Structure formats: structure tokens, C-alpha cells
Structure 1
Amino acid sequence: MTDDTPSGKRAENVTFPDVGLLRIDHVGIAVADLDEALRFYADSFGLHCVHQETNEEQGVREAMLAVGDGDGPRLQLLAPLRPDSAIAKFLDRNGPGLQQLAYTVTDVEAAAAALRARGLRLLYDAPKRGTGGSRINFVHPKDAGGVLVELVEPASGGTPVG
């Protein structure tokens, strides 16, 4: 196996642990007003909210929306609670829109270790609390083609929120 690392160096015969991605968990969208965004997605696209919460640690109000029968990946709406939150800073820089792509993993720490072994940087040394009590970490967007990638280990052992 050949490793094409972000540094451009090639390492021959390197074996990496499996990252363990199970599926796309959700796509995160930064919004300025959660209630307004919930109405828009319900009225415009027929999406329905299956979960809402406030995450003080992350500085967001959030909602998970389902498409159709509710099976499959979710759409996550993220609104800032305070001006110093990551979502508030994202909105200041970019305006509302796509903010992250999240994958479900069985073990967020093992996935993070596998990605670090590949030379990718993660935002946290240890997982943080995410939606519905999940454990999360993020791959730095500069190491993932400009995309903020979230790793989500669901609290219920793999069952999506909702």
C-alpha cells in the first residue's frame, strides 16, 4: 500500500488502521436563526424536525431534520448561542450555508487515531459531547480538502438521533 501524505512524501508499504466510517451521519448547515430555518426547511422542502437541543459547550442551538420516512442521513441546522462560538465565527466569515460533513463511526477515538496515523490533524485531543449525547471530533478542514469533517459516535451505539 502506498501512502500519499499531505506533506507530499510517499511512504511505501505502510499499513494504516481502518478508520471505521459506517455511513454519512449528517450534513451541517450554519444558520443565523434556528426557528426561521426550521420553518423554511419544513415549508420549502417538507423536512421534519426529529430532534432539537442546546449545546452550551459548542455554543449552538441545533436541530436534526429528516427527509421522507426519516431513515438515512440527517440535515443539521446550527445557530449560534453567542458571538464567540465556532458557528458565529463561521457565519461572520462565510454567511449561512454548508458548514460540515459528518460520518458515523463505531469508535470516535479509534477513528481519530487512524486519521492521525495518516497525518491528518483533529481539532480536539479528546472527543467532545455532540448531539444527543454522541461523542464527536473534527478533522481540520485544511487536511480534508477544505471540508470540515465530523466524526460521530452515537450515544446509543450506532442509532441515528431521532
Structure 2
Amino acid sequence: MEELRDFVTAIDHVGIAVPDLDAAVAFHREHFGLELAHEEVNEEQGVREAMLRAPGDDGAGAAVQLLAPLTPESTIAKFLGRFGPGLQQLAYRVSDVDAATVALRARGLRLLYDAPMRGTAGSRVNFVHPKDAGGVLVELVEPPTGH
């Protein structure tokens, strides 16, 4: 049985749930000097999101992902309602999200999706249920081809 360490290549990002994306981007720019690397609306996941990176980061380092809800019914809106703004997820970059999903399921972990979904900038993602990961929502991120 393959180990997850055979697939994890880096910490990809940490996700922070925020009620106001523009205000959160401005805060991280002003106080920490982070730069906006990517911004998009992901209708499928019900979020408007921004990826921020340290100055000069070419995309190899870990990013900060800010997530704001598109609707009151979105997962992020529910998270904000339950916990307030704050750390929402830890994302590991993987070489093959399908194989990582199979390996984790073989170990008895629950994943949120039957098959990976579209993530930021065309990546493919799946999530390990927080109840199976010490209370942490763990995201598996396979970057888009050529990234």
C-alpha cells in the first residue's frame, strides 16, 4: 500500500475564512507585505478567493489563501457562522490527488468528495474530513499541469 508521503510534495497553503475578501487582502498587504498572486470566484465551492505570497515567491513556497463566501449557504459562510473568521484549512500539495485519495481511503480516512473537484487556478482538490485529521480540515491539492 502506498504511503501518503509518496504523494505529498510541499505545504501548499493555509486557508483563512474571512467575511470581506477585499479588506482581508488589504490587511495582509499592509501589515505583512504579502502580494496578491491570484484571485478568482469559484462558484462550485461558493467562494471568492485570493492567494497571497511573500514578495519574490515564484509559487514554490506556501501561500495564504483568503476565502470569502459568495452566498449565506456556502461552506465558508457556515464556517464563519460557527467559528468566526480564522484558520479554516491546511493544504498539502500532492503529485497525484487521485492516488493520494485512494491511499487515504485505504487507511480508513473519509474524504469529502467521491472524486476530486476543481480548485484554485485549475488545480484538482479533495479534502480529508476534519474528524479523521485531528480536527483539521486537510486539503489535498494537485497543481494544474505545467505549474
TM-score normalised over the length of structure 2: 0.95
Question: How do 1:1-162 and structure 2 match up within 5 A?
Answer: 16-19=1-4, 20-70=7-57, 71-157=60-146, 159=147
- CA drift at 1:100: 0.2
Aligned partner of 2:56: which letter? D
Aligned partner of 1:33: which letter? D
- CA drift at 1:28: 0.2
- What are structure 1's unaligned runs of at least 5 residues? 1-15
Aligned partner of 2:44: which letter? E
TM-score normalised over the length of structure 1: 0.86
- CA drift at 1:18: 2.3
- CA drift at 1:17: 1.1
- What are structure 2's unaligned runs of at least 5 residues? none
User: Matched residue of 2:108: which SS?
Assistant: coil
Aligned partner of 2:29: which letter? A
Root-mean-square deviation over aligned CA pairs: 0.9
User: Separation in 1 of the partners of 2:21 and 2:110?
Assistant: 30
User: Matched residue of 2:102: which SS?
Assistant: helix
User: Separation in 2 of the partners of 1:67 and 1:116?
Assistant: 34
Q: Which stretches of structure 1, 4 residues or longer, exceed 6 Å deviation after superposition? A: none
